[in-house]
Amino acid sequence: MLSIRFHGRGGQGAKTASRIVGTAAFLEGFTAQDSPIYGAERRGAPVAAFTRIAKKPIRERGLIARPDLVVVADASLIGDPSARVLDGVDERTVLFVNSPLTPDQLRARTSVSGRLTVLDLTDLALKQFGKRGAISALLGAVAGRLAGLRPESIREAIVRELTDLGLTAPVIERNQALAMQCFEAVQPVTLEPGPRAPVPSAQLRTPTYDPPTRGTAGITAGPNSAIRSVSGWRTFRPVLRPDLCNGCWLCFASCPEGAITIKPDGKPAVYYPHCKGCLDCVEVCPTDAMTVEREPEGANK
């Protein structure tokens, strides 16, 4: 049995990619199983999806703890402990990362080791479609290539899954064409499925509680959410060009997060650890002083 785990950010298409691979395998006569992890459906938040492919009926259920292949749609997830990208990854696991960096650069900057394949899908999609959006078809094609599936079945699976999402024929064709380009661009590898060392069970600790009369958790704390950084959510960031800014404060009023503050000179400033990269400020700016830049890898996280 081949176990594939997808990691992405909500809206990138990790879930659909897992479905594409599952459907493609099914079309080739395999037994396939795909499921996303359930959570509140939020954009930008880490999500995971799982595909299992086998010749025999699959009895295993649930999360994949020991993946043969891990597909990472956003390199910033590697450093995010809540995403748990590297859980259960050993020297036999093949890792694919969507990143503009080379494998060596990525190894140097993150804790990734082992068998690593890299391709900049975001850049390909930007060049082809001219806007940011889901890269589910591309992720599916790459995963299919690494899993050893045939291009015809992946093409067909993309049509089926994207039609299900309500996309139109021309959009699906463009996705298909680019997906095939990615399929060709990735070198096939030999996956080494088979039994793995079981995941050691976590050490359980019994927490100690004080009686409620003595005190409970500090629920009277002030606004402490601001100590958390949401930088990892961004794939693009707004950048202010102060020379073009007319100081209208529209971006300050429109930022849902409150990540834009007003400096003493009356001009706005983006505080990046609080910016989720929704780019509302870019859209409302009347003088185009807010510009968009692609998020540099591993910076400011």
Partner 1 sequence: MTWEPHIFKDLHQIPREEHVFPGTPLCAGCGGLESLRLASKVLGSNVVYVNAAGCFTNLAAFPFTPLDASWLYTTMGSAPAGAQGVRDALDVLIAKGRLPKEEDVKVVVLGGDGSTYDMALSSTSGAITRKLDFYYFCYDNEAYGNTGVQLSPATPYGARTATSPCAVRHPAGTMQEKKDIFEIWRAHKPPYIATVSPRYPLDLEEKFARAAQYSGPKLFLAFAACPTGWLFDPAYTPDVAKLAVECGIWPLKEAINGEVVHTYLPKRQPVEHYLKLQGRFRHLFEPTVQTDAIAHIQERVNTYWRDVT
Interface ranges with partner 1 (CB under 8 A): 10-11, 40-45, 131-133, 166, 168-169, 217-219, 221-230, 233, 248-250, 252-259, 261-262, 266, 271, 274, 276-280, 282-284
Cβ proximity to partner 1: between 182 and 259 the closer is 259
CB of 168 to partner 1, least distance (A): 5
Place of tokens 């594939």: 4
| Among the listed residues 12, 140, 137, the one whose alpha carbon sits nearest the alpha carbon of residue 73 | 12
Contacts of 255 (CB under 8 A, 6+ apart): 280, 281
Residues sharing a CB contact under 8 Å with residue 46, sequence separation 6 or more, in sequence order: 7, 8, 9, 10, 77, 80, 82, 83
Supply φ then ψ for residue 114, to 5 degrees.
Answer: 85, -150
Least distance to partner 1, CB of residue 223, Å: 4
The Cα 232–Cα 93 span in angstroms is: 25
Could you tell me how many residues make up the chain?
Answer: 301
User: Of the two residues 186 and 284, which places its CB atom closer to partner 1 in the complex?
Assistant: 284
Q: Which is nearer to partner 1, 4 or 259 (CB)?
A: 259
Write down the least CB distance from residue 231 to partner 1, Å: 11
Residue 40 or residue 197: which is nearer to partner 1 going by CB?
A: 40
Q: Give the shortest CB-11-to-partner 1 separation in angstroms.
A: 7
Judge residue 51's burial from the number of C-beta atoms within 10 Å of its C-beta, 0-12 exposed, 13-18 middle, 19 or more buried. Answer: buried
DSSP-derived letter for residue 4 is E
Residue 9 burial class via C-beta count within 10 angstroms: exposed 0-12, middle 13-18, buried 19 and up: buried
- Which residue lies nearer to partner 1 by CB, 5 or 9? 9
Residues 6+ apart with CB under 8 A from 292: 236, 237, 238, 239, 279, 282
Sign of torsion over alpha carbons 25, 28, 29, 30: negative
* Nearest approach, Cβ of residue 157 and partner 1 (Å): 21
Q: Name the minimum Å distance from CB 108 to partner 1.
A: 29
Cβ-contact 107, 113 below 8 angstroms: yes
Report the residue number, 113 or 246, with the smaller CB distance to partner 1.
246
Q: Shortest Cβ distance from residue 52 to partner 1 (Å)?
A: 23
At closest approach, how far in Å is the CB of 163 from partner 1? Answer: 11
Nearer to partner 1, 113 or 261 (CB): 261
195 or 264: CB nearest partner 1: 264
To the nearest 10°, report the CA torsion of 250, 251, 254, 255.
-160
With b meaning 16 or more CB within 10 Å and e meaning fewer, what string describes 250-260? bbbeebeeebb
